């Protein structure tokens, strides 16, 4: 009994000491935390005071520098104004001195013909007439200067107003194309008002020379002879289904060039219809969905191409084995069909993962392109992003895109469609380059194009080969240089209808 009591006392005293130790430990830890927080708070307040003092000094320096700059600008303006006033006064004084000299010479000449008094009166009368004539000329010059200043100020205000007004990218692209005359395809079936982006009748027809002009000819190498590389020859050699190289409004039954996968073939057919609609050769769909889809075109294209069978396991295996992907996948299809038959006989509710994945991917790709073509009318910028986005993301489709555009530009009877096609071609060559097999044919086709756009497109193509393929299609900020007034030189306002975004960047850098 005594030993049991001793053991109980021992454990109780141990428990009491542990509890006392834990309480003391918690107290010390709390005290340490308070001391550390006080030290950190003191350091923060000290550092905050130094930062506030530094900010005050920096703000003072910036204000003083801005004041000095404004003072220099005001002094410069005052000096220019004083110089202008002094030059005007000097010019008036010089004219008066010249008039007085002529008066004295005339008076001397008249004294030999008549008496002194009459000669002085005639010379004085002519002197007053000269002064009145000089005053009228000075007033006319001042009026012309005021009109010139008012015109420049009005242009500056108009440019600022256009810069500040809310403008989305679709409206900007529509404004770029508003100079084109309407085409019959767009007049037959006009899209709803909220999707209206084609020019309306009544703006006046313009000639083809007026549409494609005004672009400076860049210095390029024109020595290479490309007379043998005709687009007609390329079309006769590589186009499928007996399709010629000339303009057409009909839908294609198959892509112009041989493509390896079903996804690329569906993309080529969708690209052909989109190019026709962009050039005004095919009407937009009549109806559109009630729910507006706000997803960007590049996101849809990336999602569609991301599910494309080009990234599948079968295509990668064909490339590793060095086989033709078409032959390899046809053999794979036969094996999959046998697998389907065996599964149907044994287990009707079970499919292999590879079969299900392939069926879902092909179905998704077909539904995606069908939704793009038939769901609603699209704006010009959406069509541009769809066409150029496929060329950026899929190198296998670049020659197909260029061939479709060149085909629509060959013997095109519509001036509006012809102009839109060359605009589209100039944008494409600035974003992605064709393959080595087609580049000489494309250069030959471009050199035979309109004198305004041909050297411009060739220079953009050479720049694309030098810089590489872009990652994104041109945004509305890059397209804006085609339409917006840009001041490139001091005191001179230029309406930039002829420079692309890269030239603007170079000129702004050199200022």
178-193 tens-digit pLDDT: 555 554 444 444 443 3
User: Taking 80 as the threshold, does the pLDDT of residue 360 lie above it?
Assistant: no
Query: 310, 266 in Cβ contact below 8 A?
Result: no
278 alpha carbon, distance to own chain's centre = 17
Neighbours of 440 (CB within 10 A): 15
User: Taking 50 as the threshold, does the pLDDT of residue 326 lie above it?
Assistant: no
Q: What pLDDT score was predicted for residue 33?
A: 95
The domains located in the chain, with CATH, are 2-164 (no CATH), 172-474 (1.25.40.530)
What average pLDDT does the segment 466-492 reach? 60
Q: What pLDDT score was predicted for residue 16?
A: 92
Gap between the Cα atoms of 70 and 398, Å rounded: 53
Q: Which residues have C-beta within 8 Å of that of residue 450, sequence separation ≥ 6? A: 208, 212, 422
Give the helix ranges, DSSP H, for 394-453.
398-409, 415-429, 439-447
Positive or negative: CA dihedral 188, 190, 191, 197: positive
Q: Is 185 exposed, middle or buried (0-12, 13-18, 19+ CB in 10 A)?
A: buried
Q: What pLDDT score was predicted for residue 31?
A: 95
User: Taking 60 as the threshold, does the pLDDT of residue 329 lie above it?
Assistant: no
Tens-place pLDDT, residues 428-455: 998 899 999 999 999 999 988 888 778 8
Q: Which residues have C-beta within 8 Å of that of residue 57, sequence separation ≥ 6? A: none
270 alpha carbon, distance to own chain's centre = 23
Share of the chain above pLDDT 70, in %: 65
DSSP string, 343-380: HHHH-TT---HHHHHHHHHHHHHHHHHHHHHHSS---H
pTM: 0.49
Tens-place pLDDT, residues 279-296: 988 888 876 554 555 566
Residue 166's pLDDT band (cuts 50, 70, 90):
low
Q: How many CA atoms lie within 13 A of 190 on its CB side?
A: 12
What average pLDDT does the segment 16-27 reach? 94
Q: If you average pLDDT over every residue of the chain, what do you get?
A: 74
What average pLDDT does the segment 100-109 reach? 82
Share of the chain above pLDDT 90, in %: 23
Gap between the Cα atoms of 371 and 377, Å rounded: 11
- Percent helix / strand / coil, the chain, rounded to 5: 70, 0, 30
What Å distances lie between residue 19 and 27, 335, 381, CA to CA? 12, 75, 75
Tens-place pLDDT, residues 376-416: 788 888 888 889 988 988 888 999 999 999 999 999 998 88
Q: What pLDDT score was predicted for residue 366?
A: 67
Gap between the Cα atoms of 115 and 237, Å rounded: 102
Strand, helix or coil at 217?
Answer: coil
Q: What pLDDT score was predicted for residue 489?
A: 36
Give the helix ranges, DSSP H, for 165-261.
169-176, 184-188, 208-211, 231-238
Structure tokens at 150: 């008012």
Q: What pLDDT score was predicted for residue 65?
A: 95
């Amino acid at each position: 009994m005594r030993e049991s009591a001793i053991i109980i006392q021992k454990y109780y005293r141990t428990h009491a000491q542990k509890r006392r130790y834990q309480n003391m430990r918690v107290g010390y830890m709390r005290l340490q935390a308070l001391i550390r927080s006080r030290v950190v708070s003191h350091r923060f307040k000290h550092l905050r005071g130094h930062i506030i003092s530094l900010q005050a000094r920096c703000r003072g320096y910036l204000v003083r520098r801005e004041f000095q700059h404004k003072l220099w600008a005001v002094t410069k303006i005052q000096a220019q104004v004083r110089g202008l006033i002094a030059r005007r006064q000097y010019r008036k004084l010089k004219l008066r001195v010249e008039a007085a000299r002529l008066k004295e010479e005339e008076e001397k000449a008249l004294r030999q013909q008549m008496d002194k008094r009459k000669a002085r009166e005639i010379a004085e009368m002519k002197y007053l007439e000269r002064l009145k004539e000089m005053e009228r000329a000075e007033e006319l010059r001042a009026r012309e200067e005021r009109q010139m200043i008012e015109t420049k100020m009005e242009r500056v205000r108009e440019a600022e107003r256009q810069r500040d007004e809310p403008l989305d990218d679709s409206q900007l692209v529509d404004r770029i194309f508003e100079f084109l005359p309407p085409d019959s395809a767009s007049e037959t079936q006009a899209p709803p008002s909220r999707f209206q982006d084609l020019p309306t009748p009544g703006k006046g027809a313009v000639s083809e020379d007026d549409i494609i002009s005004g672009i400076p000819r860049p210095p390029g190498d024109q020595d290479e002879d490309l007379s043998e590389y005709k687009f007609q020859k390329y079309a006769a050699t590589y186009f499928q289904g007996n399709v010629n190289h000339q303009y057409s409004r009909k839908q294609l039954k198959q892509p112009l060039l041989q493509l390896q996968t079903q996804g690329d073939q569906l993309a080529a057919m969708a690209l052909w219809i989109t190019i026709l609609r962009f050039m005004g050769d095919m009407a937009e769909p009549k109806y559109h969905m009630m729910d507006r889809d706000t997803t960007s075109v590049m996101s849809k294209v990336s999602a569609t191409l991301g599910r494309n069978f080009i990234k599948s396991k079968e295509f990668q295996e064909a490339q590793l084995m060095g086989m033709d992907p078409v032959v390899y996948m046809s053999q794979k299809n036969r094996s999959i069909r046998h697998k389907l038959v065996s599964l149907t006989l044994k287990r009707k509710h079970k499919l292999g993962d590879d079969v299900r994945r392939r069926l879902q991917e092909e179905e998704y790709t077909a539904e995606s392109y069908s939704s793009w073509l038939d769901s609603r009318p699209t704006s010009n910028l959406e069509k541009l992003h769809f066409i150029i986005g496929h060329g950026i993301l899929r190198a296998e489709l670049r020659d197909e895109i260029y061939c479709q555009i060149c085909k629509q530009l060959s013997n095109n009877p519509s001036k509006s469609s012809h102009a839109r096609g060359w605009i589209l071609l100039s944008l494409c060559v600035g974003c992605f380059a064709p393959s080595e097999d087609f580049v000489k044919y494309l250069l030959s086709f471009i050199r035979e194009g309109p004198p305004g756009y041909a050297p411009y497109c060739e220079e953009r193509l050479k720049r694309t080969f030098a810089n590489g393929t872009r990652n994104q299609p041109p945004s509305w900020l890059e397209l804006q240089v085609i339409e917006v007034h840009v001041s490139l030189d001091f005191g001179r306002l230029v309406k930039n209808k002829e420079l692309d975004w890269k030239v603007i960047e170079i000129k702004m850098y050199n200022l």
